[in-house]
Amino acid sequence: MQLARLEVRPKAGADRWGVENQASGYVACLYRQGQVVGEELGTWVGGDFHCYVRLTGRDALEKGFHSDQALEELRKLEALGEVGWELIGETGDPVVHWQDAEALYLTPSKIAPVRTLPKGEAVRIYTLPLRPLEIDELVTWGRRAHLYDDAWLDSGDLEMTAYRALADPESHLSLCAQDLAERIEAATGKPTYHWLMRGFTSDPATEATRPCPCCGKPLSPSLFDAGEWLQLRCEPCRLLTGVGDVSDTESDEEALIGAWTPDRK
């Protein structure tokens, strides 16, 4: 993660609110392409407007990674004043290229919804060869999936709703992940998996060879040592999932979420 500061020196007569609003519009475009994450922090220093953001890579501000909409918003901002960027500090983060990965997978993260296999490193999603609208969809999916992932423990009444969204292959969240993974694989040529949560089981003896929740064929061990949440896979479905824990299971209903049902397809 790289800290950066957008600096705007307004032209004479430009009003403060207009500058702040336009800077926010420009940063929002970078946010939708996964170049910026989290909240921005704007402040006036002397007569200049400064806006601090977190970048997902040091090259995130290169014009080649700007969407047409971001360039348009930048032009509007430049009409209001002199615009510059300052990168602050060195992160020491390794630069990860999706091209070097054996495979990719989607994971519920608002910062890095696409990761590499086998290492699990964060992909700078603005570098993926997708259309801006598709990257926007990916950012939206990651943010939504992160919300569910954050909510599924200790959230009271929300807990099972969040778990179902993450663990049921027919939830809207899961169907979107499958669709996005297919499009990423088509664009990159890299096998691209989606991840399905598995927290509960009522039969630990057969849990690791249970039927794939999407197609009913037996799951097999993951090709990649990428953590306990990813230890099982279905290659035809491009699915990665884990092994449920019987000690956490309070009811059969929990174990049935994400279980294969023959009438599914």
For Zn ion, the binding residues (CB under 5 A) are: 212, 214-215, 234, 237
- Within 10 Å of residue 84's Cβ, how many Cβ atoms? 10
- Within 10 Å of residue 185's Cβ, how many Cβ atoms? 16
Expressed in angstroms, the distance from the first to the final Cα of the chain is: 42
Q: Residue 241: which of 185, 169, 133 has the closest Cα?
A: 169
Q: Where do the H-state alpha helices sit in 68-208?
A: 68-78, 132-151, 158-167, 172-188
**Which of 10, 216 has the CB closer to Zn ion?**
216
Least gap, CB of 216 to Zn ion (angstroms)? 7
**Which of 81, 244 has the CB closer to Zn ion?**
244
**Which of 4, 230 has the CB closer to Zn ion?**
230
Q: Residue 258: which of 103, 152, 111 has the closest Cα?
A: 152
Sign of the dihedral defined by the CA atoms of residues 150, 145, 229, 127, in that order: negative
**Which of 147, 215 has the CB closer to Zn ion?**
215
Least gap, CB of 261 to Zn ion (angstroms)? 13
Least gap, CB of 172 to Zn ion (angstroms)? 19
Least gap, CB of 194 to Zn ion (angstroms)? 11
Q: Is the peptide bond before 118 cis (omega within 30 degrees of 0)?
A: yes
**Which of 16, 217 has the CB closer to Zn ion?**
217
Least gap, CB of 264 to Zn ion (angstroms)? 11
Rounded distance between C-alpha atoms, residue 83 and residue 65, angstroms: 18
